[in-house]
Amino acid sequence: MEVITVSELARKMNLKANALIGKLMSMGMMVTINQQIDAETAEILASEYGCSVRIVSLYDETIIETEKDRQEDLRPRSPIVTVMGHVDHGKTKLLDAIRSADVASGEQGGITQHIGAYQVAVEEGTVTFLDTPGHEAFTLMRARGAQVTDIVVLVVAANDGVMPQTVEAIDHAKEAKVPIIVAINKVDLPEANIDRVKQQLSEHGLIVEDWGGEIPAVEVSALKREGIGDLLSTLLVQAEIMELKANFSRAAEGKIVESRIDPGRGTVATVLVENGTLKVGDSFVAGIYPGKIRAMFNDRGQKVDLAGPAMPVEIIGLDGVPDSGDPFQVTDGEKLARQVSSKRQELKRVEAARNVKKVTLDNLYDSI
Ligand code: GTP
Ligand code: MG
């Protein structure tokens, strides 16, 4: 429910707060200056003074005017793939196998704490991968991963089968209307039961191709690095069907994948560019914070000057720490970035004053 404090409403209407308090008293409401009133009351009150109330939500698209892309400006881009599945089913290990670099062994306790983003170049093209944690506490991050993604790779360990976070990942992918490719992992284990996985998936509405359905399923061993080529080509076939395109020549927009404070470099955020090209020197808003790109690094830590669609980059030059999943937009100059940011911070204060709702799959898309 939308709320506003009496003093804020008075300021917006260019009135003294006391005048509003008096008016509310005459309407039978006893309020103090810092008390919040709901949108309906604000509307009635405003109409008494010939004002109208427009309720805007945080990140309202109308705050930044975005130009429409012309068909002739669109060029093919690489797919964004999110790897999801139950905790410990081998998502990070699978990404390691794909990148042939060992990230999982360097993680705290082997659990993925944040979403990582990597770009992998294979002969047939480039694929962007997002890793998501399987731990149950990370529903929101998985949901956001599903939203920025073109294809979900659902990792199911063949020895363990479909588990709660597998089901949740299926639900997120369906909700976001994203195609699923199943990677049946850990097929090297003696207790691996591939048919049981396919059976369990069918109980959740995913019928794999060799059972007469439409869901591609690839058997892999992330540990032994087997089946990886198959998985990549299945992905690229799916991506080709989708004819993914973006405008490389406009101001960049995308999503914050993760952000953190780095002792040496200040606030560092990973941005996944969805459209346009990001450049060093660009002013931007990330969630509620303004910034200006001071430096950018690719997923291998190399300095880059440009980042096009589907490219994840680490950026330096933020004025605050945005949340994972926050929208990122380049603005026409620093002034606009600061204006949009202060508007959003004001809206955020109003939102924070409301009761914090528990996020579930049912109300998630209402709140982000
Ligand atoms: P979270 O990020 O915590 O959700 O886990 P995850 O899905 O990323 O799993 P991770 O890649 O960290 O792997 C979990 C464990 O399973 C590790 O000990 C891996 O070595 C092991 N593992 C992953 N893939 C395979 C595989 O193909 N075969 C076998 N035998 N073990 C595997
Ligand atoms: Mg992991």
ipTM of the complex: 0.99
Residue linked to tokens 């540990």: 223
Q: How confident is the model at residue 299 (pLDDT cuts 50, 70, 90)?
A: confident
Residues 6+ apart with CB under 8 A from 26: none
Q: How confident is the model at residue 368 (pLDDT cuts 50, 70, 90)?
A: very low
Q: What is the CA(134)–ligand 2 centre distance, in A?
A: 7
d(CA 248, CA 68): 13
171 lines ligand 1 (CB under 6 A): no
112 lines ligand 1 (CB under 6 A): yes
Mean pLDDT confidence for 23-51: 84
Q: Which atom of ligand 1 is nearest to the CA of 132?
A: 2
Write the pLDDT tens digit of every residue in 230-267.
Answer: 999 999 999 999 999 999 999 999 999 888 888 888 89
223 lines ligand 1 (CB under 6 A): yes
Residues 6+ apart with CB under 8 A from 170: 154, 180, 204, 205, 206
Residue 17 has pLDDT above 80, yes or no: yes
pLDDT at residue 96, as a whole number: 86
Q: What is the CA(330)–ligand 2 centre distance, in A?
A: 31
Residue 49 has pLDDT above 80, yes or no: yes
Residues 6+ apart with CB under 8 A from 332: 251, 283
Residue 187 has pLDDT above 80, yes or no: yes
Mean pLDDT confidence for 202-215: 96
pLDDT at residue 347, as a whole number: 77
pLDDT at residue 6, as a whole number: 87
Alpha-helix residue ranges (DSSP H) falling in the chain:
6-12, 17-26, 39-48, 91-99, 139-148, 164-175, 194-203, 228-242, 334-353, 364-367
Residue 303 has pLDDT above 90, yes or no: yes
Mean pLDDT confidence for 227-232: 92
91 lines ligand 1 (CB under 6 A): yes
Q: How confident is the model at residue 106 (pLDDT cuts 50, 70, 90)?
A: low
Q: What whole-number percentage of the chain has pLDDT above 70?
A: 86
Residue 363 has pLDDT above 60, yes or no: no
Residues 6+ apart with CB under 8 A from 333: 283
Closest CA to 274 of 259, 253, 303: 253
Residue 178 has pLDDT above 70, yes or no: yes
Longest dimension (CA), the chain: 78
Which of residues 361 and 88 earns the better pLDDT score?
A: 88
186 lines ligand 1 (CB under 6 A): yes
Neighbour tally for 355: CB within 10 Å: 7
By the CB criterion, residues less than 5 angstroms from ion ligand 2 are 91-92, 112
pLDDT at residue 358, as a whole number: 44
pLDDT at residue 275, as a whole number: 94
Q: What is the CA(232)–ligand 2 centre distance, in A?
A: 19
pLDDT at residue 46, as a whole number: 84
Residues 6+ apart with CB under 8 A from 232: 98, 120, 122, 124, 127
Q: What is the CA(45)–ligand 2 centre distance, in A?
A: 53
Which of residues 15 and 282 earns the better pLDDT score?
A: 282
Residue 38 has pLDDT above 90, yes or no: no
For residue 135 the two structure tokens come to: 């731990």
Q: What letter represents residue 255's amino acid?
A: K
Mean pLDDT of the chain, nearest integer: 85
244 lines ligand 1 (CB under 6 A): no
pLDDT at residue 57, as a whole number: 60
Residue 108 has pLDDT above 90, yes or no: no
pLDDT at residue 282, as a whole number: 98
Q: Which atom of ligand 1 is nearest to the CA of 155?
A: 7
d(CA 185, CA 156): 6
Mean pLDDT confidence for 299-322: 93
